[in-house]
Amino acid sequence: FPEGRKCSGCGVKLQNEDANKPGYLPVQALEREPVICQRCFRIKNYNESSSVTVEQDEFLRLLSQIGEKDALVIHIVDIFDFEGSVIGGLQRFVGTNPVLLAVNKIDLLPKVTNWNKLLNWVQKQAKELGLRTQDIIFCSAKQNKGFDRLLEAVEQYRGDRDVYVVGATNVGKSTLINRLIRDYSDLDQELTTSRYPGTTLDMVNIPLDDGQYIIDTPGIMYPSRYSELIGPKDLSVIMADKPLKPIVYQLNEGQTLYFGGFGRFDFIQGDHQSFTCFVSGKMPIHRTKLERADELFEKHAGEMLSPPNRDEISKLPAWTRHEFRIPRGSRSDIFISGLGWIKVNGESGAVVAVHVPKGIKVLLRPSLI
Ligand code: GDP
């Protein structure tokens, strides 16, 4: 395999080792002219962008390059995993460039969602997380919703800037990019070479009908999300794919809910009250007594408490415990990155704990819904 050769599409250094990393090219494709990486090939020939991923450090280097340009940034996040998919340091890196926050997968929210309230929530949370946003757009790449609004916003803010699309893995970035390609691009034109030849990051420039570009960046991997820890089979259970049907549990203190064998929620102290689980419809929930919870897991992890199966559970990091004191009168969610959230409905306060594999982001936040 020729060392150091670059993709004549995006300029990334070609490699033959990892099909999920930028610059991958099967050996036999070296015979094709022009020599372009598999990703560019797919975009060019099948109008289909596939996701490549990079580690956080590499991604931050890429972001700082965007900071030096005059750019419009589309930051895609997943409403089901909002805090898990937000790129925390984004503002520091993109400088004064405007950012559109595209909140994707809104098809997952219950039918009765109050959109104004949701918008307020997103604005507040974004601010809390240090993001300045020019505009917030709700969309569903799956249902093709919100794209007109997104494109309008792009028109409104980009001037003569290029548009960079950034997002964590699994937020729906490829699905979104593919829609944009299908609806707006002119692929008779050649894919142009990256502005950053020699970087190890591939950014694919997608020409639009009017001569501007949308630039797809690699998805950033956050190991703090279940989606990065589990296999595809378990992912299809944990990831909601239909509108969430919240499940309400009336609990007394000293009760525990198991979410398959992925994690558990303990109601430790407080008045009898209800907790609403916003998790994938395929997630089996098992209620038990807190005092029996450890024993139950020891005996039944991977069987009654599954998925994941025994084998998969043994590959996950050991669990850690996160305890929260929910103040009286607060409207809060216990958020578990990738799994969903549990809304605390009681007004009288509570002490709860969550047990999940080490590294998974768990936090207390104001209620989303
Ligand atoms: P990427 O890693 O950000 O490029 O994400 P993909 O586009 O590959 O999507 C990741 C997963 O999310 C796939 O299973 C998609 O089907 C799903 N997905 C993408 N967009 C949406 C959406 O708007 N709604 C829902 N429910 N799922 C979506």
* pLDDT greater than 50 at residue 57: yes
Quote the ligand 1 centre to 330 CA distance (angstroms): 32
In whole angstroms, what is the distance from residue 281 CA to residue 300 CA? Answer: 22
Asked if the model's pLDDT at residue 78 lies above 80, the reply is yes
Mean pLDDT value across residues 58-71: 80
pTM of the model: 0.85
Please give the average per-residue pLDDT across 135-148, as a whole number: 91
Q: For residue 172, how far is its CA from the centre of ligand 1 (angstroms)?
A: 3
For the purposes of burial, counting CB atoms within 10 Å of the CB of 271, is it exposed (0-12), middle (13-18) or buried (19 or more)? Answer: exposed
Closest of 166, 171, 176, 173 to residue 85, by C-alpha: 171
Tokens of 367: 């209620």
Residue nearest atom 20 of ligand 1, based on CA coordinates = 172
Residue-wise pLDDT tens digits, 237-279: 999 999 999 999 999 999 999 999 999 999 999 999 999 999 9
Indicate if ligand 1 lies below 6 Å from the C-beta of 107.
yes
- Across the chain, mean pLDDT equals 87
In this prediction, residue 53 carries a pLDDT of: 64
Closest atom of ligand 1 to 141 CA is 23
Cβ of 173 less than 6 Å from ligand 1: yes
77 C-beta closer than 6 A to ligand 1:
no
- Which domains occur in the chain, in start order? 50-220 (3.40.50.300), 232-366 (no CATH)
Please identify, by atom number, the ligand 1 atom nearest to the C-alpha of residue 176.
7
Res 1: pLDDT: 77
Would you state the pLDDT for residue 103? 97
Alpha-carbon distance of 183 to 212, in angstroms, equals 14
pLDDT at residue 203, rounded to an integer: 63
